[in-house]
Amino acid sequence: MTLGTNQVRAADLLVDGLRAHGVDRIFCVPGESYLALLDALHDARDVDLVACRHEGGAGFMALADAKITGRAGVCAVSRGPGATNASIAIHMAEQDAVPLIVLIGQVARADRGRGAFQEIDYAQAFGAIAKGVWEVHDAGQLAEVVAQAFQAACSDTAGPAVIVLPEDMLSDMVAAEAVAPLPLARAEAGPAEIDQVLALLANSERPLVIAGGRVSEPAGRAALQAAAEAHDLAVAASFKRQDIFDNAHPNFAGYLGFKIPPTQVEAMAEADLILAIGARLNDVSTQGYRLPRAPVPDQPLVHVHPDPARIGAVYETALGLAVDPVAFLEALAARPAQAVPARRDWLAALNERARALAVYTPVDPRDGVDFGAVVQALGEKAEPDAVIITDAGNFGSWVHRHWPWRPSNLLLGLIGGAMGFGVPGAVAAALRLPGRQVLSFIGDGGMLMTGGELATAVQEGAALKLFVSNNNSYATIRLHQERDYPGRVSGTRLANPDFAAWARAFGAEGIVVEREAEIEAAVEAALAAEGSVVVDVRSSLEAISAYTTMAKLRGGR
């Protein structure tokens, strides 16, 4: 640490440290446990402090912000209940490999260990999910801790880092300065490694790329397309990463999310070489560790991921490269192609299946609007660079299946599958990308988990377009019930408010869609709205997902 001569309040030093790490926005719910930090932020005009309605919402906003910027997102919450409310975001940051800094107030140092009001040992509470938990008892170490926490959060695999701030420590005076960001290790594949990949490719008639989140940055999207075109590679997008590759491109092989039809997966499994690039290969993307098969894949596996701990952890790999996946793709794309004519047939067959699966076929359920029709209409009319947020639930199946995904879109969804991301994720996106349409798809369940953050949107002037699938059900769970416990509906029925009226009460626009004939006008009105708008789609439960219906489930299909 650099020691300065001037004394500075620890809370101000903390703000300097955040600034030094590029922080320009903090999402918070205030607490008396970190008043000095709030006070320090009062004068920090270059750091936007967004007051949220729930710490889960604040945490989700910080997480979404990190997904957008590629830098660590930051939230500040109070001790005890504030921190436990925020825990959903800490867990999701770990699941999604997103750098997240969580600042938590703490009881005064002298009271630590006495079971004081709202005291928690955060190292124990979050030790298993965070990349690190630092409780700062000596303000002289604060600047160093900030740098360490950011480095831990941002290094591979990225994740949450927790800084615990005893309230009296924040007011200590200390002779110190902010510490500059610590370097992040970054390895690149050398020519010899690219040669090894090319040697494997030379014998491959059916190479399949599984592309993951680590190629999501714009340069990664471009490099993915260039490498796929240069070497005739089929490209499948991993779970909730469809936006990284143009789904209309002839090399697009399909999407590896939930409920992908077995025939589609079987076709991809005919690959004679799998290149997993920037993907962690979790259970959803691998369709339950079947593509590639764990622990020994049916075909050689090349795994390219910056984190050496990921490679070989679950899968036997023919070649594991702990390198930057974007630079890898750029280097691969730059190499001359080997002519393997059979690859064209493989590409065409996979692409035809993927396209066929994406075609929307209208259905006419009697009990409400088919949510797929709303998604279809929006997909046709939204701007090509629209930001799409998905909460967790069945409504998302139409979005993943039918949206015309392009690399100009930005898809924000939680790989970890927590409900409640839809509204906060949209708030963060609208604040960060004010010129772009921000469309969020949410269920009636998820909407009332964190929907109170619509107040944050209105307060901050963020324009969100929220599309609620209001089917009076936690339908994802209902689908499981229909299949596993037919006729025994338990705990999944919901009675909802009029979401349009609810939206108006917040100062947003509200639109109701009760019939299919109303969809087009509603979609146009929502897209044209200047401020925030909630479209309450009275959706069908019969059309329970993009892949099945209640009737089919009851018929055992």
Ligand X SMILES: Cc1ncc(C[n+]2csc(CCOP(=O)(O)OP(=O)(O)O)c2C)c(N)n1
The only residue of 62, 75, 145, 419 in contact with ligand X, by rule CB under 6 A: 419
Residue 73 or 445: which CB sits closer to ligand X?
445
Question: Which residues of 306-383 form beta strands (DSSP E)?
Answer: 319-321
**Closest distance of CB 132 from ligand X, Å:** 25
**3-class DSSP state for residue 123?**
helix
**Closest distance of CB 396 from ligand X, Å:** 7
**Closest distance of CB 437 from ligand X, Å:** 22
**330 binds ligand X, rule: CB under 6 A:** no
Residue 308 or 497: which CB sits closer to ligand X?
497
**Closest distance of CB 526 from ligand X, Å:** 19
The only residue of 87, 151, 351, 469 in contact with ligand X, by rule CB under 6 A: 469
Please, which contacts does 523-531 make with residues 24 or more away whose CB atoms are closer than 8 Å? Answer: 523/374, 523/377, 523/378, 523/381, 524/381, 526/465, 526/467, 527/378, 527/381, 527/382, 527/437, 527/465, 529/463, 529/465, 530/463, 531/458, 531/461, 531/463, 531/507
**448 binds ligand X, rule: CB under 6 A:** no
**482 binds ligand X, rule: CB under 6 A:** no
Residue ranges in 70-205 assigned as alpha helix (H): 81-96, 122-126, 142-154, 191-202
**394 binds ligand X, rule: CB under 6 A:** yes
Residue 36 or 89: which CB sits closer to ligand X?
89
**365 binds ligand X, rule: CB under 6 A:** no
Residue whose Cβ sits closest to ligand X:
443
The only residue of 78, 473, 481, 549 in contact with ligand X, by rule CB under 6 A: 473
**Which residues, other chains included, contact 250 with Cβ-Cβ below 8 Å and sequence gap of 6+?**
347, 348, 351
**3-class DSSP state for residue 302?**
strand
How far is the C-alpha of 351 from the C-alpha of 257, rounded, in Å?
17
**For the chain, how many helices (H) and strands (E)?**
20, 20
How far is the C-alpha of 299 from the C-alpha of 15, rounded, in Å?
51
**475 binds ligand X, rule: CB under 6 A:** yes
Residue 87 or 317: which CB sits closer to ligand X?
87
Beta strand 8-9 with 173-174 is antiparallel
**474 binds ligand X, rule: CB under 6 A:** yes
**392 binds ligand X, rule: CB under 6 A:** yes
Binding mask 287-306 for ligand X (x = CB under 6 A): --------------------
The only residue of 239, 395, 403, 502 in contact with ligand X, by rule CB under 6 A: 395
Query: Crossing angle for the helix pair 218-231 and 325-334, nearest 10 degrees?
Result: 40
Residue 151 or 440: which CB sits closer to ligand X?
440
**390 binds ligand X, rule: CB under 6 A:** no
**Closest distance of CB 539 from ligand X, Å:** 8
Place of tokens 């600047």: 143
**450 binds ligand X, rule: CB under 6 A:** no
**Closest distance of CB 27 from ligand X, Å:** 18
Of the ranges 244-252, 306-314, 332-340, 466-474, which one interacts with ligand X (CB under 6 A)?
466-474
How far is the C-alpha of 358 from the C-alpha of 156, rounded, in Å?
34
Q: Which candidate, 329, 336, 283, places its Cα nearest to that of 304?
A: 329
How far is the C-alpha of 447 from the C-alpha of 392, rounded, in Å?
10
Q: How many residues bind ligand X (CB under 6 A)?
A: 19
**3-class DSSP state for residue 513?**
strand
**416 binds ligand X, rule: CB under 6 A:** no
**Which residues, other chains included, contact 482 with Cβ-Cβ below 8 Å and sequence gap of 6+?**
544, 550, 553, 554
Identify whether the C-beta of residue 275 lies closer than 8 Å to the C-beta of residue 304.
yes
The only residue of 144, 243, 444, 482 in contact with ligand X, by rule CB under 6 A: 444
Q: Enumerate the β-bridge partners of residue 28.
A: 51, 76
Residue 214 or 465: which CB sits closer to ligand X?
465
**Where do contacts with ligand X occur on this chain (CB under 6 A)?**
392-395, 417-420, 443-446, 469, 471, 473-477
